[in-house]
Structure 1
Amino acid sequence: MDVIHSRGQSPTHLPASLIKHHHPYFTPAEVKYLSEKQRGKLTETQEEKTRQSACGFLEALGARVGFPRRTIATAQNLYHRFHLFFPRKDFNYHDVSLAALYVSTKMHDTLKKPRELLAVSYAVRFPELAAKSKHPGGDVDLDMMDPQVVERDRQRLLAIERLILETICFNFTSRMPFPYVIKMGRALNATKKLTQLAWRLAVDCYRTLLPVQYPPHTIALGSIYVAALLSSFEQPVSLGQDDCCPSQDIAAYLGKHGDWEKRFQSQVEDLEVIAHAVIDLILGSTQNQSANTSPSTPSSPSPHLSSRHQYEKQAYPQYASSPYNADQLIRLKIVMRETEHPPRTRQPLGNADPSALYGGDDIPLLGRNEGTVRFLFGPPGSVPSV
């Protein structure tokens, strides 16, 4: 977000009006700067663990309610975007996740009331309460809880919802990579099995910061590229099925510059960044033995398991059919590093220096009622400023 101040003639020189621009995507340099700024004293490992716990929490909520994938994925994306502007130490990831899910239900017309989401979240966080509940769906009966606690949590959800809406400048547009995976898979003549794997990898991309950096069609193509790599690396050479293109041919085709870049409006350098991020995520899954939940079908929490164990189960994705172990994935990353292209230079919107573009002047204004604020859906330059 960029903020443009228009000062009035009052003696206090307070901003009379503000203009906030929505930034649909950020460069890797911007994401790195903003993440480090909001990380505080946490290490990168601790930050990643918190991020995966939040994503797992959203998976569990979505599975229990029955939300479609687009609602869960958008909620995960909103969570990531929120913590580009707000410190992690100031918010509990349960509260931010729940507020992000609430906003996502509005964006995709799968709306649930705050109390309904709270009841489901209590059942996920506190399985012992769900075990005692007589609710037919296994949710916690809010009438049996302290009304002050419920009301406090509801007010906190609504307060964070407002902050999330301001971080996206009330832009409810949300495009998903999943339809692109199907269309691009057909365009590349990929097998059905490869396309299915790419779809699941696109789901996993929302556990990372990739969706705030790249548009959905690039995420989709990157998922197909990673699927082709995983399906062909150290595997017997496939001749293809039903006249489909073999995985190794698709990986080789997308792994170098070609006419496909203009055709699919993406660059090979970006696909390599996506590939490393997804493989790192799978590496975290293979190294975390307690994570055994498929990202496409997250299991509903069992009342017989502790809350801590539930989060461990949901913390990382894992592929039940994946033939890869950590050593193989590391070897694949080494091979990719030996042949990868230099990173592509991406110009930030508005300024070449992310620290200057996001100096923090706009952060104290979020959630305030001082002056008049205009939220513009486009980035600077796309809409004339006044």
Structure 2
Amino acid sequence: MNHSQSSRGQSPTPHSSSKYHHPYFTPAEVDYLSEKQRGKLSVTQEERVRQNACAFLETLGARIGFPRRTIATAQNLYHRFHLFFPRKDFNYVDVSLASMYVSTKMHDTLKKPRELLAVSYAIRFPDLVAKSKHPGGQIDVDTMDQQVVERDRQRVLAIERLLLETICFNFTSRMPFPYVIKLGKAFGASKKLTKLAWRLTIDCHRTLVPIQYPPHIVALANLYVGALLSSFEQPVVPEDSGTRTPHEIAQILGNNGDWEQKYQAQVDDLEGIAHTVIDLLIQGAQSATQNTSPRTPSSPSPHPSPRTPHPLIEPQAASVPYNADQLIRLKIAMRQTEHSQRVRQPLGNADPSALYSGDDVGLLGRNEGTVRFLFGPPDAGDEI
């Protein structure tokens, strides 16, 4: 603001800032940002909310018939959103619906917000489905209170705007699934092992791994996890000619070798991802053991607490022939031979926790000042 503006009582120059899209975050950045937005929730409660949201997106996408890339991207968008916005300020259902809506735009599988809401009502309120006369068991939103439907739609659109600004309007979305097939062939994995790696990659999107590592590393890590699960405490079964056993693939990917240079990956990254995925499997195995009573058909609350997940959309990990005790033994065995974790540097020179902190986050979703949204971190060059 110059002197002439001040003397005439004019408003100061609008705030101007730049936001940079970070395709991936380091584990340290994720820990810092997650803690910042967790609020009074414990880490366990936060994880419960995250799994409820991911399971809700899984159910929503399956009922509509979205391809895997749309569902997985929606889960990634949900994770990214809560790196910058407090969990206490948003209901996970609203954020999930907005994430799915943005994902449908990114993958050209567009559905209108009212269509997403109609399916979400059927998932969240099964008692309304029972009253519905629709032959497919769907809910006709035209028969519902239109004020309620419109309020829900407006919340989805408001969060959509925040999501778009959070990703800096960068609609690029690279998925690890094609890499699973290619890497499976490259390492001589059997079809059974490749299918397990694919399923593990699906479940991997319930974690923060896909926003921390490029898709080819995510795919390679899940091939490694699949090989570990198929070989740990299992006898060696000869494979067909030209196909490696899971024991051989686990041995290759669990040690330094030429494959690191060839695939631009490092063994310590694979081991870190493997522990995250196996933790998810342990959580799923323990939940399956604890939840032995029949599920009640009563409608869950539309705003469940982190301590009481939806009974209709509990997280379910990939089906593997291990119980929680065996998976824990696998983790112990991995700890005994794992490599030291290197410190990963952020892309570019800017820390996203600084770029999206304080008053800057408050500018997202508002029309105040000028905000430049750039597709990559500053000074990242060709690293993206």
TM-score by length of 1: 0.90
2:64 alignment partner in structure 1: 65
Is the 8 Å Cα contact of residues 53 and 93 (structure 2) preserved in structure 1?
A: yes
Question: AA paired with 2:54?
Answer: C
1:211 alignment partner in structure 2: 210
Shift of the alpha carbon at 1:318? Answer: 3.4
Deviations 1:36-95 (A, max 9, x none): 000000000000000000001001101110111110000000000000000000000000
Shift of the alpha carbon at 1:290? Answer: 6.9
More moved, 237-246 vs 160-169:
237-246
Where in structure 2 are there 5+ consecutive unaligned residues?
302-307
Question: AA paired with 2:91?
Answer: N
Deviations 1:357-380 (A, max 9, x none): 654342111111111222111111
Separation of aligned partners in 1, 2:146 and 2:299: 25
Shift of the alpha carbon at 1:238? Answer: 2.1
* Aligned structure 1 segments of 4 or more residues deviating by more than 6 angstroms: none
Separation of aligned partners in 1, 2:35 and 2:148: 33
Deviations 1:250-271 (A, max 9, x none): 0010011111011111111110
2:336 alignment partner in structure 1: 338
2:370 alignment partner in structure 1: 372
- When residues 99 and 290 of structure 1 are mapped into structure 2, their CA distance, relative to the original with a 3 A threshold, is farther
Separation of aligned partners in 2, 1:303 and 1:132: 17
Separation of aligned partners in 1, 2:156 and 2:353: 30
- When residues 164 and 352 of structure 1 are mapped into structure 2, their CA distance, relative to the original with a 3 A threshold, is closer
Is the 8 Å Cα contact of residues 56 and 316 (structure 1) preserved in structure 2?
A: yes
Question: AA paired with 1:378?
Answer: G
For 1:148-159, list aligned pairs within 5 A: 148-159=147-158
1:296 alignment partner in structure 2: none
Residue 225 of structure 2 aligns to a residue whose secondary structure is: helix
TM-score by length of 2: 0.90
Is the 8 Å Cα contact of residues 169 and 377 (structure 1) preserved in structure 2?
A: yes
Residue 150 of structure 1 aligns to a residue whose secondary structure is: helix
Question: AA paired with 1:375?
Answer: F
Separation of aligned partners in 2, 1:91 and 1:17: 27
Is the 8 Å Cα contact of residues 350 and 378 (structure 2) preserved in structure 1?
A: no
1:362 alignment partner in structure 2: 360
Aligned with 2:325 (options 317, 323, 327): 327
- When residues 273 and 365 of structure 1 are mapped into structure 2, their CA distance, relative to the original with a 3 A threshold, is same
Shift of the alpha carbon at 1:20? Answer: 1.2
- When residues 319 and 81 of structure 1 are mapped into structure 2, their CA distance, relative to the original with a 3 A threshold, is closer
Shift of the alpha carbon at 1:306? Answer: 4.2
Is the 8 Å Cα contact of residues 201 and 227 (structure 1) preserved in structure 2?
A: yes
Separation of aligned partners in 1, 2:191 and 2:96: 33
Is the 8 Å Cα contact of residues 256 and 266 (structure 2) preserved in structure 1?
A: yes
Separation of aligned partners in 2, 1:54 and 1:113: 20
Residue 153 of structure 1 aligns to a residue whose secondary structure is: helix
1:257 alignment partner in structure 2: 256
1:298 alignment partner in structure 2: none
Residue 270 of structure 2 aligns to a residue whose secondary structure is: helix
What is the RMSD of the two structures over their aligned residues, measured on CA atoms?
A: 2.3
1:297 alignment partner in structure 2: none
1:53 alignment partner in structure 2: 52
For 1:269-348, list aligned pairs within 5 A: 269-289=268-288, 304=297, 306-307=299-300, 311-320=310-319, 322-348=320-346
- When residues 143 and 353 of structure 1 are mapped into structure 2, their CA distance, relative to the original with a 3 A threshold, is closer
Separation of aligned partners in 1, 2:318 and 2:79: 23
Separation of aligned partners in 2, 1:268 and 1:93: 35
Separation of aligned partners in 1, 2:186 and 2:296: 45
Shift of the alpha carbon at 1:242? Answer: 3.9
Shift of the alpha carbon at 1:351? Answer: 4.6
Question: AA paired with 1:76?
Answer: Q
2:105 alignment partner in structure 1: 106
Separation of aligned partners in 2, 1:181 and 1:8: 59
Question: AA paired with 1:34?
Answer: L
Is the 8 Å Cα contact of residues 176 and 215 (structure 2) preserved in structure 1?
A: yes
Residue 136 of structure 2 aligns to a residue whose secondary structure is: coil
Is the 8 Å Cα contact of residues 184 and 194 (structure 2) preserved in structure 1?
A: yes
Question: AA paired with 1:18?
Answer: S
- When residues 354 and 342 of structure 1 are mapped into structure 2, their CA distance, relative to the original with a 3 A threshold, is farther
Is the 8 Å Cα contact of residues 64 and 119 (structure 2) preserved in structure 1?
A: yes
- When residues 66 and 356 of structure 1 are mapped into structure 2, their CA distance, relative to the original with a 3 A threshold, is closer
Separation of aligned partners in 2, 1:342 and 1:15: 48
